[in-house]
Amino acid sequence: MKRTLILLAIAAAALTPAAYARNLKITSLSRPFMIRVTDTGAGFSVDFPIVGRVRGTSTTFFTSLDITNNTAQPTDVDFFYTPADGSATRSGTFGTLQGFDDIHTDDFLQSLVDAGVTTPNQADNTFGTLLLTFNNPSFTKGTEATAVARVYSFAAGTSGPTYGLSYRATPLHTDGAHSLASVARSTPGLVTNIGIENVGINDSGNSVSAPVTVRLSFFDPTTGTAVGTQPTFNLAPGQVIQINDVINNAGKNAFQLPAGTSSVIVFVDEIAGTSQISGYAVQKDTSTNDGSFVLMQESKTPF
């Protein structure tokens, strides 16, 4: 059985009508949201480092979700959304996924509005992180269910969705990352954005209420030497920050990289706090808004 939320109201007239078994209603949790890691069993949680509904210069970007049960056993699915701007978190339940079932929403932030979990103003031009917990206690490996986000835009008129990138949420586990690495490139028509998240659990899989401090370091791959400054950022549990156009940040080379730099290796090191961290990099075409998304690699060597 497949169920869906039809939530992209601004584009409804442009979409071809489809038949769905029934709509899924988001409801409030009757219990506190609980993070579970694969190493400890009794269900597991997955992490989306970014979901959002963000207005660009000519279009708006949305996040759709597909949450799939890959087994014959049912499982409840709870969610916890943390806005990047530090405003109030939102939690609730998507209800029960039956065996070999799928939940779909075209616009996660609008689904929160429709359920009365947040207001239209709070869901407009915002992004944050999303945790999902699959509560079936026999789900112990992190393979029993899958959650995929698709970020896309919808232009005016009847053009339909015009842009999209997808990524799969990562199951949470013990002994996670505290240092990350990726490459950032900047050439005519191409920029790299970096996102960094405080996952909010320590290496034992327990929730942490204290913030973390992370430090960025940049290395020139042509010389193998450190370049620029080492900016630091503080992140509350569940919070994500996105640094747009790393090499020419804020349009003024905020990190003082050498003139003409087109590529740097970026390291993100946790220098205070105990939470695991996560991150992503997006290389974006500035003329088309087409982007390539990749999760940052864990780095075992802090700088």
CATH fold, domain 179-298, is Hypothetical Protein Tm1070; Chain: A (2.60.290)
> For residue 128, what pLDDT is reported?
97
pLDDT band at 159 (very low <50, low <70, confident <90, very high): low
Contacts of 5 (CB under 8 A, 6+ apart): 23, 24, 103, 104, 105, 106, 111, 114
What mean pLDDT is predicted for residues 178-193? 95
Contacts of 203 (CB under 8 A, 6+ apart): 174, 175, 176, 274, 276
DSSP for 78-106, written as a single string = EEEEEETTS---EEEEEEEE-TT-EEEES
Q: Is the pLDDT of residue 210 over 90?
A: yes
Phi-psi region of 18 (alpha: psi -120 to 50; beta: other; left: phi over 0): beta
> For residue 251, what pLDDT is reported?
80
What mean pLDDT is predicted for residues 232-257? 94
DSSP state for residue 122 in the 8-state scheme: H
| Signed CA dihedral, 42, 132, 267, 235: sign only | negative
The single-letter code of the amino acid at 180 is L
Instruction: For residue 37, give both structure tokens.
Output: 């890691």
Q: How far is CA 234 from CA 54, 79, 196, 286, in A?
A: 23, 24, 10, 29
Residue 8 has a CB neighbour count (10 Å cut-off) of 19
What ranges do the domains of the chain cover? 2-171, 179-298
Instruction: For residue 91, give both structure tokens.
Output: 């939690």
Contacts of 76 (CB under 8 A, 6+ apart): 93, 95, 96, 97, 134, 135, 136
> For residue 212, what pLDDT is reported?
98
Query: In a 10 Å sphere around its CB, with 0-12 CB exposed, 13-18 middle and 19+ buried, how is residue 154 labelled?
Result: buried
Tell me which residue of 40, 82, 98 sits closest to 199, measured CA to CA: 82
Indicate the range of 67-76, 204-213, 248-257, 285-294 predicted with least confidence.
285-294
Tell me which residue of 125, 132, 149 sits closest to 50, measured CA to CA: 149
The mean pLDDT of the chain is 88
Q: Is the pLDDT of residue 14 over 90?
A: no
pTM listed for this prediction: 0.89
DSSP for 16-36, written as a single string = PP---S-----B--SS-----
pLDDT exceeding 90 applies to what percent of the chain? 74
Phi/psi of residue 293, nearest 5 degrees:
-110, 135
Contacts of 152 (CB under 8 A, 6+ apart): 61, 62, 64, 161, 162, 163, 164, 165
Q: How far is CA 33 from CA 62, 135, 283, in A?
A: 25, 10, 34
Q: Is the pLDDT of residue 2 over 60?
A: no
pLDDT band at 296 (very low <50, low <70, confident <90, very high): very high
Give SS3 for 186: coil
- 66 compared with 16, residue with greater pLDDT: 66
> For residue 12, what pLDDT is reported?
35
